[in-house]
Structure formats: C-alpha cells, structure tokens
C-alpha cells in the first residue's frame, strides 16, 4: 500500500511539471494520489498528518498551475481610429 501511494504521488508530480500534459490529466492524477493518501491514512499505513501534508503540497502545486495558466483568448474589437488634429500654422 505504501509503495502504491508513493507511485501515485510521483505520477501526479510528473504530470504537474510536464508542460505537455492536459489539464484534465493533471487533475485526474492529483485526485487519484489524494485518494490513495486518504486510504493509507484511514488504514494507519501513513500518519494522518503526513497524508494531509502531502495532499496540501499537491493541491498547492495544482493551484499554482491553475493561476499561471493563460486566460482564454478574448475577441478584440478594433479600436476606433482617432482623427488627426488639423495642423495649423501661424502667419
């Protein structure tokens, strides 16, 4: 069980650091790792505080990626052209 949890955590961290991974893939692997940590804590294989700490670290990494992700492109309307002021010469 402990080895399985370690493997899930490693997979989750790799998907979070991989630039080519899909966002749904990142979320899925992180949630699976959190479930594994919860199961290990409930069976007292890991100390509950240890599991909570690891879950918190994974959640922070995921949130950091979500906040730095580029926003969806918005359609930009062309700005109206400003009329040039007429040039006046003093005589």
DSSP-derived secondary structure for 77-91: PPPPPPPPPPP----
User: Which phi and psi angles does 29 have, rounded to 5°?
Assistant: -70, -35
- pLDDT on residue 65: 87
The domains found in the chain, sorted by start residue, are 2-68 (1.20.58)
Q: Which residues contact 52 (CB under 8 A, 6 or more apart)?
A: 41
pTM given for the model: 0.70
> What are the tens digits of pLDDT across the range 43-81?
999 999 999 999 999 999 999 988 876 655 555 555 555
């Amino acid at each position: 069980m402990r080895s399985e949890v370690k493997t899930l955590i490693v997979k989750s961290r790799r998907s979070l650091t991989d630039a080519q991974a899909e966002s749904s893939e990142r979320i899925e692997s992180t949630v699976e790792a959190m479930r594994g940590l919860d199961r290990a804590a409930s069976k007292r294989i890991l100390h509950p505080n240890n599991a909570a700490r690891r879950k918190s670290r994974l959640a922070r990494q995921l949130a950091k990626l979500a906040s730095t992700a580029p926003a969806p492109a918005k359609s930009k309307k062309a700005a109206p052209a400003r009329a040039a002021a007429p040039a006046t010469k003093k005589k």
